[in-house]
Amino acid sequence: MSDIIRRDPRTEWIARNRLHPLHGTVSVSDEVEVRGPSGLLRKNPHKVGFIGPNGIKRIDRLKGNAAASGKGRKGGAAAEVQLPLHQVENPDFYIVVVPDMVGGRLTGHDKDMIGQAHKLINGLQSSSDEKGAVLAVCFGESKEEGFDTAGVDRLLLLNGDEYQGYCPEQQLAALVQVENTYQPKHWLFPDSVNGGADLGSRLAARINERPAVQAWLVDNSTTLSRGAGGTTDITRGTPRLLMLAEECAEPIDETRHEALDIELEHIPTVIAQLQDQGQVAVDPNAIPLGEAEFILSAGNGIHNWDQFHATATALGATEGASRVAVDDGFMPRFRQVGATGTWVTARVYLAVGISGAIQHMQGIGQCDKIIAINTDAGCDMVKGAALSTIGDSEEILAELNKLAENFRQQQADGSDQDAA
């Protein structure tokens, strides 16, 4: 068959003649664009567009992108795009990253570090035809679901009993085993107070590597790191073990990775010299607001302040307040959250009766999970929250107080039994 589309005079004639019995088969079609009998593409203007919600015909000139811009039809086209999968079949070398996994999830710092690992791999691959993979070693329980989009090619998850609690010596033994098994090209640690710097220093001392700490501009040949308490820049050759500063590289966002689970055998069990006695109860209100982990914040919707303080104590939360609550004299000025007050970094922010003025939302921009208790379902705080409950704050706080007190009671019973 040739590709040339030939005119068909008979079909053309039938298409012109609306009384012809075959007319319906030729011209009527549900499709918008039809190849006409003359071989040209014909548009049926009656089929273009759709009937809008108010009964008026609408033509979508954004070609289906309207859903992505937040307006128009919901769902459908908004389904997320699958990123291309990056596969490494048989890696010739590994770069090992040890993320902090604060609260069981990858932090922004961890993702930057994985981005840095891929940057190093790309540099190494450009000079030779060996394939490299990023191996992430994670300790303890993991709640992370986005290892693939964060850029992890291989995942070693160590969450046995011996890795529960604070166990740097056992973790170090596992890392030494990784070192012996895989001989990674580089070791990357986040230079953070969440344990990355500690573990990295332990490994560096054990395998006798000289690390670069607070490294912030790293490529395959040279590393720029902060020295002298952050007041100087040291330029040096890139060492095998790096402790990376925050925002050292862009995180991975254009590819999906395999995150294949791997097993590591023969990890020796170490007799711990450091015995973890558990966390000590700290007065939550003695923690500076800016670094508190869990904040219970009060706004204009609170009427029973005694109940609010009681709930904060029962939950063990640091107290915060919106501007209104402070201006009305219910809370001290240093408890104010927002642009004029403190910019908080809490992992969980429970906002009670705060509708979410833009100055307040700026102040809580760094928080991971926001929970809102409010009477207005349309307020900005509810829009930004991971969980929102619409109802009277006094009732909900009373129930929450009960639950928290039960929980504390159970905890006390449990520890009594342990002691007995």
Partner 1 sequence: MQHKQTEQRFANDLNIVSLISVGKHPQSGRERRAEQDGRAVELGMSLNAENLTVLHAGDPQQNALRSYAGMGLNSIRVLEMDPAADAIAPLSSYLKQHSPDIVLAGVRAESGESSGMVPYQLAEQLGWPLVSRIADIISVEGGVAEILQALPRGQRRALKVRLPFVASVDNAAQEARQSAFGPASRAALDLQSTQSTTDVIRDEWSEAPARKRPKRLKKVKATTAAERFKAATAKAQSDGGKVMKNEPAAEQAQAIFDLLLEEGVLR
Residues 6+ apart with CB under 8 A from 18: none
305 binds partner 1 (CB under 8 A): no
- Single out the residue of 78, 262, 403, 412 in contact with partner 1 (rule: CB under 8 A): 403
Extract the runs of DSSP E, i.e. beta strands, from 124-263: 132-139, 154-158, 186-190, 212-218, 222-227, 232-237, 241-244, 256-257, 260-261
317 binds partner 1 (CB under 8 A): yes
**Alpha helices, H only, 30-161:** 108-127, 147-150
The phi-psi region of residue 27 (left if phi > 0; otherwise alpha if psi is between -120 and 50; otherwise beta) is alpha
Between CA 368 and CA 121 the distance in angstroms is 31
Between CA 59 and CA 48 the distance in angstroms is 7
CA atoms within 13 A on the CB side of 403: 8
CA atoms within 13 A on the CB side of 253: 5
85 binds partner 1 (CB under 8 A): no
288 binds partner 1 (CB under 8 A): yes
419 binds partner 1 (CB under 8 A): no
Between CA 292 and CA 12 the distance in angstroms is 77
Residues 97-126 vs partner 1: string with x where CB under 8 A? ------xx----------------------
Q: Please, which residue, 29 or 359, has the CB nearer to partner 1?
A: 359
Find out whether 297 and 349 touch, Cβ atoms under 8 Å: yes
Q: How far is the CB of 273 from partner 1 (least distance, A)?
A: 4
Q: Please, which residue, 7 or 206, has the CB nearer to partner 1?
A: 206
Q: Please, which residue, 36 or 299, has the CB nearer to partner 1?
A: 299
262 binds partner 1 (CB under 8 A): no
- Single out the residue of 130, 219, 395, 413 in contact with partner 1 (rule: CB under 8 A): 395
392 binds partner 1 (CB under 8 A): yes
Q: How far is the CB of 299 from partner 1 (least distance, A)?
A: 16
221 binds partner 1 (CB under 8 A): no
Q: How far is the CB of 10 from partner 1 (least distance, A)?
A: 44
CA-atom Rg of the chain in angstroms: 30
Q: Which pair of tokens denotes residue 374?
A: 């409010």
367 binds partner 1 (CB under 8 A): no
In DSSP terms, which residues pair with 261 in a beta bridge? 155
218 binds partner 1 (CB under 8 A): no
Q: Please, which residue, 38 or 285, has the CB nearer to partner 1?
A: 285
Count of residues binding partner 1 (CB under 8 A)? 89
Between CA 48 and CA 201 the distance in angstroms is 66
194 binds partner 1 (CB under 8 A): yes
Q: Please, which residue, 147 or 349, has the CB nearer to partner 1?
A: 349
Region of 1-9, 45-53, 225-233, 260-268 interacting with partner 1 (CB under 8 A): 225-233
Instruction: Give the footprint of partner 1 on residues 23-82 (CB under 8 A).
Output: 62, 65-66, 68-70
Q: Please, which residue, 27 or 374, has the CB nearer to partner 1?
A: 374
For 348, the enclosing helix (H) or strand (E) is strand 348-352
Find out whether 400 and 312 touch, Cβ atoms under 8 Å: no
Q: How far is the CB of 142 from partner 1 (least distance, A)?
A: 13
